[in-house]
Every structure is written in C-alpha cells, then in structure tokens.
Amino acid sequence: MLGHLAGSMIGSAVRGAAFGAGASAGARFTAQHTGPAVTTPVWQGSVGDTSLVLMSTRYHGQQSYALHVIADGQTHQAGAWWTYPEALAAVQSWTGYLQNGGTVAAWLQRSPQLAQVTGRAR
C-alpha cells in the first residue's frame, strides 16, 4: 500500500514537472509569435541636413527593416524590406541620391501616393 502511494505521488510529480516544462515552452512560443512588435535602430547616418535611420522590427517571429528619412523636421518612411541586404541597398541608394544633390522634397513630389500619406500633397 505504501509503495503504491509513493509510486502514485512520484508519478504525479513527474507529470507536473513535464506539464510545467511544456507550459513554459508553450509560453515562450506564444510570446515569440504573438507578443508586441520590437523595433530597434540598426543604423543611422546623415547627409547634409537629412538624417537616415534604418530600423529593424521583429513581429510574430518575422524580421523586417524600414528606412526612415528625416528632413525639415518631418519623418518619412522611404521603404520596407524583408531582408537586410535589400534594406542596406536602399540606404546606399538614398545616400548616393542625397550626395548628388537630391532632396526629400523632390522625392516627395515624384511620389504622389507617399505625399498624400504624409500630408504633403500639393
């Protein structure tokens, strides 16, 4: 009788520990895939009076990147990509564009949909 009771208690403890480990793993999985988006700056630089900031966002287990261009006190999202090499290519393109005399105002004029979204439509 005592051996059966001890065996039952040990079995319950083992099942409880296994459930606890499973619940912990499940909680981690849920947090990784349903938690809030985490956004962090990856790179920042400037050309003249224009600042460029590359942001990384992790959401639902997926990584993405967005380039923000800051000029005249306003921030504009210049694009979003799923891979870092694509985002880095955009940073290089923007840097070259600005170094060769390009401006954010000119870019907004050539991008009417973006201008409407940012409130700078004419």
pLDDT tens-place string over residues 96-110: 999 999 999 888 888
**Tens digit of each residue's pLDDT (9 = 90 or more) over 32-89:** 556 788 999 999 999 999 999 999 999 888 999 999 999 999 999 999 999 999 999 9
Do 92 and 73 fall within a single domain? yes
Do 31 and 42 fall within a single domain? no
Do 2 and 53 fall within a single domain? no
Structure-token pair, residue 71: 């000029």
Query: What is the domain range of residue 15?
Result: 1-35
Do 16 and 66 fall within a single domain? no
Question: Can you tell me whether residue 37 is helix, strand or coil?
Answer: coil
Q: Which pLDDT does position 35 carry in this prediction?
A: 73
Q: Which residue has the tokens 């606890």?
A: 20
Do 55 and 104 fall within a single domain? yes
Q: Which residues contact 122 (CB under 8 A, 6 or more apart)?
A: 109, 115
Do 29 and 59 fall within a single domain? no
Do 60 and 97 fall within a single domain? yes
**Tens digit of each residue's pLDDT (9 = 90 or more) over 59-71:** 888 999 999 999 9
Q: In what order do the strands lie in the sheet with 38-47?
A: 38-47, 50-59, 62-71, 74-81
Do 46 and 105 fall within a single domain? yes
